[in-house]
Amino acid sequence: MSRTMRVPVRSKRLEIRATPEQKRLFERAAQIRGTSVTDFVVSKLQEAALEIVQETESIRLREEDRKVFFNALINLPAPNGYAKAAVARYKKQTRA
């Protein structure tokens, strides 16, 4: 069974300005990877962007989790029947 690689269709253009040294470095890295400079640069930019987005979202979610946790501590619900029965069992067992 042969596997075909799907090549992403590029429909947008992104232009960058780089120093001659940066361009030579990008070209060397792309050559080492066996890819075009465009594919190399797009791949590395995408990796960096994903890392930044994931890090930012992780921090934001941690902040939301913290708020939910502290809100639950501050606004404790009244114990239900199951909780009251568990406390009674515990007190009974510890007195014996």
Kindly tell me the sign of the dihedral angle through the C-alpha atoms of 40, 33, 31, 25.
Answer: positive
CA angle, 12 as apex, 34 and 3 as ends, to 5°? 45
User: Is this prediction's pTM over 0.75?
Assistant: no
The residue assigned the tokens 């939301």 is 64
pLDDT tens for 43-75 read 999 999 999 999 888 877 788 888 888 898 899
d(CA 74, CA 80): 17
Q: What is the pLDDT of residues 83-95, one digit of tens each?
A: 999 999 999 999 8
